Structure 1
Amino acid sequence: MSGKNGAKRGLGLLITPWQRPFSALAILIIVGTIGYRLTEGWDWGDCIWMVLITVSTIGYGEVETLSPQGRLVTVLIVVGGLVVVQLAIQRVLGLKESGYFHRLQKLHLHRMLELMHNHVILCGYGRIGQEIAAQLLRYNVPFVVIETDSNRRDVAESKGFKVLQADATLDETLLEAGLKRCKSLIAALPGDASNLYIVLSARDLCPDCRLVARASSDEATAKLRLAGASAVVNHHVAGGRVMATSALRPLALDFMELLVGSDHEIEEFQLNHKPQHLCKIYGRSLAELELGRRSGAMVLAILDQGRLIANPGSHIRLGPGQLLIVLGSQPQLSRFQDLLGEAVDSVTTTVPS
C-alpha cells in the first residue's frame, strides 16, 4: 500500500502544477471548435483542425474562406493562445524557482532505487570512494552513491552514477538506498565516527547485510568490528602492506593486478550452517566431489571455524559453515555453485585491490 501511495503522490507531483495551463488550453480548443461550428458550420474534424493550426501558429491556411464571424473567432483563439503560452512560461519559471524539477529528478532516482536489487551502497564519494566506485564500475556491479557534498555529487552524476544526496547516517537514507535489498554496504566516509554510526544503523536495520567500513586507526577498527562490521579496512595499514608486498613479493602483487584485468574472479561461497542443506556434499572430500574437474574453478582456500586452510588438499572434507574461496571465470564459478546446490548459503565476489 505504501508503494501505491508513493506512486500516487509522485503522479500528483508531476501533474498538479500543470493543471491550470492544460485546463486553459483544453478550454480554448473546445470553445474555439464550438465557435467555428456555430459560425462556419464545418464538421467537427475541420473545426478542431482549424483551432489546432491556429493555436500552434503553423499557418497551413484556412480550411475554407472564413466569414467575418469566423475571423473574429480566429482572433479570439490567437489571443487565447498567447494567454495560454504566457501562463505556461510563468508556470515553468515558478516551478524552476520552487525546485520542482529537482524534485522530479529525485523522484526519478527514487523509482530507479526501488528497482535495484543485489547492489552495493557506497557511502561517501571522496578519494577512496571514487576509487571504490571505479572498481565497482569495472566489474559491472550496480551501485548507488550516498553523498552530502553537492560538488562531489555533481562529479559522480557526471560519470553516470546514481547518487542520493543525503546523510548516510540516517536510517531513512539507508532504507531509501535499498539497504534491505542490497548485496553489501561500504562505509567510506572520512570520519571514523560517521562510519561507526552507519555500521550501527545498518546492522540494526538489516542484520544479514555485509558491511565493509573504512578506518583510520586501530582503535576505530576494533570499534567498527564490535559494532558489527563484516570487514574493516584501515587505509594506512592497507597501503603499507601493498607497498611492502611490492618491495618483497612483486610477483604476487603483479598477479593480483593481472587478475583485475582478466575475466577471472575470486568468489567466496558460504556453506549453510544447517547439515540438512548439505546432503549432497556433507562429509565428502574434494577428491570425491571433483568440483575442480567438473567446474574448471580452483579452490584456493577454506575457512573452517576460524582456521584458514590454504591450497586445500583433495582429502579435505566439506562441512557446515565452511567458507570456500574459489578462483575462476564467471561461467566456471556458476558451474561450481550449481554443483554445490542448496548447500550454498551466500556468494560474495572478492574484488582484488
Structure 2
Amino acid sequence: MPVTRTSESYRRRSLLSGVPQGAAALRRVAVALAGLVAVTVFGTVGYMLLGLSFIEALYQTVFTVATVGYSEVYERTAAAEIFTIILIVIGVGTVLYNLGVLVEAVTEGHLREYLWRRKMDTSIEQLRDHLIVCGYGRVGRASTANLVDRGHQVVVIDSDAERLAGIEVPFVVGDASSDDVLRAAGIDRARALICALDTDAATTYATLSARALRPDLVIISRARTIDSKAKLVLAGATRAVNPQLIGGRRMASFALYADVAEFLDEVMHDDDIEHRIEGVRLGNRSPLVGRTVAGVDVPGLCGATLLAVRKPRKGEFVPTPAGEMVLEAGATLIVFGTPDQVDRLRGEAGTLAS
C-alpha cells in the first residue's frame, strides 16, 4: 500500500516528538481489549443475577455479544430481555471497535513498527563498548561503514527517518542534542561518539550534551570551518576534525609523496593489509610505567615496531624515542604491527587501545 506524503510526514513528526504511532496503536488495542473484557464480565454477572450458572451466563454473554444468534439458555422474562437488549447495544459496539482498532493497527503497520522498535531498543541496551555516530550524512555514512568493516558495533542517530531507511546497524531517530536520545543510543556504555551533523551549531549542541552526560567519553566532532574547530573543543570535543582540510592535505601529500601517502592510506584503511598503526596507552598501574624504552624492548616483547611515543595529557610526539627515555603513566605507544602483536603489547601493558 503506497504511503501518502501526508501520512509519511506525520509518521516522522511523531517519531521525532518521542510518541511513536506504534505505541499509541498498542494503547488503543489494550483499551479495546479491556473494554471487551469489561463487557464480558458485565454480561456474565448480569445473567448470573438472573439465575444462570457461571458457565451458562458466560456462554450466553459470548454468543450474544458476538451476534451468533443461538437460542437463549435463560427463561424469557421481561427483565432478561431488557438486559439482553442492553448487552447487545453495548457489546456489539465494543466488538466492532475492537475489530476496527486491530485492522487499523495491522494494515497501517503501527503495531509492527512498535514491536520492531522495541526489538531495536533491546538490541541497543545489550551493546557495550560501541560507537555512536550522530548524523548519517556523507561523513557519518563513511564513518559508519569504516567502523562496521573493522568489526565494531555502531549505533546511528539522525533526525531524518528517510536517511536511515534500509540501514543495517541499530539506530535512533531523534535530535542528537537531546539527553533522552543520547541515552537511548547507549551513551553511558559507549566507547566513543562521532558527531557529524548538518551544521556546526547542531554539532556544538550535541557535543555539549554528550560531554555533560559522559565527561570521560571520547568525542570526535566534525567542523565545517576552520574557525569552528576551537569552539568545538571548548564545547567538549576530544578532537575537532575538518574533512575539507584533511582532504586537501592528503591530496597534497599524494601529489608530493605518492608512495608514502599511499602506504599510510592502505595501512590505516585497507582491511586486506594485515599490519596496522595503532596506539597503546599506558595506565597508572601498567607494569611498563617507569621503565625505559630500551628496557621495555617493544619488538622483542610482542614483535611490533615502536614508531613514536606521545607524552601524557596529549603532549608532544617523540618519534623513534631514545632508549633511555622513561615511559610515564598516560603516555601512548604508537606501534606498527599486526593485530595479534598489538594485542600482545596491550596484554603486557595491561591497557586498552588509545
What's the TM-score once normalised by structure 1's chain length? 0.70
Structure 1 residue 89 displacement after superposition = 6.0
Q: Which residue of the partner structure matches residue 77 of structure 2? A: none
Q: Which residue of the partner structure matches residue 340 of structure 1? A: 349
Counterpart secondary structure, 1:151: coil
Quick one: which amino acid aligns to residue 324 of structure 2? H
Structure 1 residue 98 displacement after superposition = 8.3
Cα displacement string for residues 192-240 of structure 1 (whole angstroms, at most 9, x for unaligned residues): 0111111111111100000000001122101011112111111121111
Whole-angstrom distance in 2 between the partners of 1:172 and 1:88: 34
Q: Which residue of the partner structure matches residue 143 of structure 1? A: 154
Greater per-residue helix proportion = 1
Cα displacement string for residues 108-136 of structure 1 (whole angstroms, at most 9, x for unaligned residues): 11111110111110000111111111111
Match status 1:293 vs 2:304: no
Paired residues of 1:17 and 1:91 also in contact (CA < 8 A): no
From 216, 220, 228, the counterpart of 1:212: 220
Paired residues of 1:121 and 1:184 also in contact (CA < 8 A): yes
Structure 1 residue 297 displacement after superposition = 1.9
Cα displacement string for residues 59-109 of structure 1 (whole angstroms, at most 9, x for unaligned residues): xxxxxxxxxx9xxxxxxxxxxxxxxx9988644322245833322222111
Match runs of 1:227-306 below 5 Å: 227-259=235-267, 260-261=269-270, 262-272=273-283, 274=284, 277-278=285-286, 280-305=287-312, 306=315
Counterpart secondary structure, 2:323: coil
Whole-angstrom distance in 2 between the partners of 1:281 and 1:172: 41
Match runs of 1:9-28 below 5 Å: 16=30, 19=33
Q: Which residue of the partner structure matches residue 335 of structure 2? A: 326
Whole-angstrom distance in 1 between the partners of 2:149 and 2:96: 49
Query: Percent identity of the aligned residues?
Result: 31
Paired residues of 2:132 and 2:185 also in contact (CA < 8 A): yes
RMSD between aligned residues: 3.8
Quick one: which amino acid aligns to residue 190 of structure 2? C
Whole-angstrom distance in 1 between the partners of 2:290 and 2:143: 39
Structure 1 residue 188 displacement after superposition = 0.5
Which has the larger displacement, 243-252 or 98-107? Answer: 98-107
Whole-angstrom distance in 1 between the partners of 2:302 and 2:97: 67
Whole-angstrom distance in 2 between the partners of 1:228 and 1:240: 26
Closer, same or farther in 2 for the Cα pair 1:21/1:335, shift >3 Å? farther
Match status 1:172 vs 2:183: no
Structure 1 residue 332 displacement after superposition = 1.3
Structure 1 residue 165 displacement after superposition = 0.7
Quick one: which amino acid aligns to residue 332 of structure 2? L
Paired residues of 1:21 and 1:87 also in contact (CA < 8 A): no
Closer, same or farther in 2 for the Cα pair 1:240/1:307, shift >3 Å? same
Match status 1:100 vs 2:111: yes
Which has the larger displacement, 102-111 or 182-191? Answer: 102-111
Paired residues of 1:245 and 1:253 also in contact (CA < 8 A): yes
Which has the larger displacement, 313-322 or 163-172? Answer: 313-322
Q: Which residue of the partner structure matches residue 126 of structure 1? A: 137
Paired residues of 2:307 and 2:334 also in contact (CA < 8 A): yes
From 297, 318, 323, the counterpart of 1:314: 323
Structure 1 residue 312 displacement after superposition = 2.4
Counterpart secondary structure, 1:150: coil
Quick one: which amino acid aligns to residue 106 of structure 1? R
What's the TM-score once normalised by structure 2's chain length? 0.70
Match status 1:117 vs 2:128: yes
Quick one: which amino acid aligns to residue 316 of structure 1? M
Paired residues of 2:282 and 2:288 also in contact (CA < 8 A): no
Structure 1 regions of 5+ residues with no counterpart? Answer: 1-9, 28-33, 36-68, 70-84, 349-353
Structure 1 residue 329 displacement after superposition = 2.0
Paired residues of 1:281 and 1:289 also in contact (CA < 8 A): yes
